[in-house]
């Protein structure tokens, strides 16, 4: 259910941005979602349609990109993407720790009219 809160958050930001830009309508929203966040695109879409009714952002297209989680190796200071099976640093083989990226969501851009 945490998609609901996230979607409210996204919508709030989008409406603020659209108002600032003096937009008549929001056409599309580009989102990046971290693969680790567990957010389901379908849920966000569903909540979005419900929440955005009667707002300037109603009917906007959500374009969602999932990004792989990034790991960081504390041993040799390398950043690398998490593959399905491998948490180990490609350079030195030590297990990496999660970066903050890849856990949450980000609004990349908003198309307005
Ligand atoms: Zn390393």
Dist. CA 23–CA 35, nearest whole Å: 31
* 19 in a structural domain: yes
* 91 in a structural domain: no
* 17 in a structural domain: yes
Q: How far is the CA of 74 from the centre of ligand 1 (A)?
A: 7
- Predicted pLDDT at 3: 86
Exposed/middle/buried for residue 96 (C-beta within 10 Å: 0-12, 13-18, 19+): buried
* 58 in a structural domain: yes
> Could you give the number of structural domains in the chain?
1
Q: How far is the CA of 80 from the centre of ligand 1 (A)?
A: 9
- Predicted pLDDT at 102: 53
- Predicted pLDDT at 59: 93
Q: How far is the CA of 61 from the centre of ligand 1 (A)?
A: 40
- Specify the CATH number for the domain of residue 36: 3.30.2320.50
Q: How far is the CA of 77 from the centre of ligand 1 (A)?
A: 6
Name residues of the chain where pLDDT drops below 70.
Answer: 1, 84-85, 100-103
Closest CA to 71 of 59, 57, 87, 58: 87
- Predicted pLDDT at 28: 97
- Predicted pLDDT at 66: 85
Beta-strand pair 26-34/105-112: antiparallel
Q: How far is the CA of 73 from the centre of ligand 1 (A)?
A: 5
- Domain with 64 in it: 2-68+100-112
Strand partners, 33: 66, 105
Q: How far is the CA of 96 from the centre of ligand 1 (A)?
A: 7
- Predicted pLDDT at 87: 84
* 107 in a structural domain: yes
Stated pTM of the model: 0.74
* 43 in a structural domain: yes
- Predicted pLDDT at 84: 59
């Amino acid at each position: 259910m945490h998609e609901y809160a996230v979607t409210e958050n996204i919508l709030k930001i989008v409406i603020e941005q659209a108002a600032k830009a003096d937009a008549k309508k929001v056409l599309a929203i580009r989102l990046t979602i971290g693969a680790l966040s567990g957010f389901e695109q379908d849920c966000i879409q569903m909540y979005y349609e419900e929440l955005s009714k009667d707002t300037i952002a109603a009917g906007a297209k959500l374009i969602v990109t999932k990004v792989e989680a990034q790991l960081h190796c504390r041993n040799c200071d390398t950043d690398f993407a998490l593959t399905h099976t491998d948490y180990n640093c490609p350079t030195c083989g030590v297990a990496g720790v999660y970066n903050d990226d890849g856990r949450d969501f980000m609004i990349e851009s908003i198309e307005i009219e």
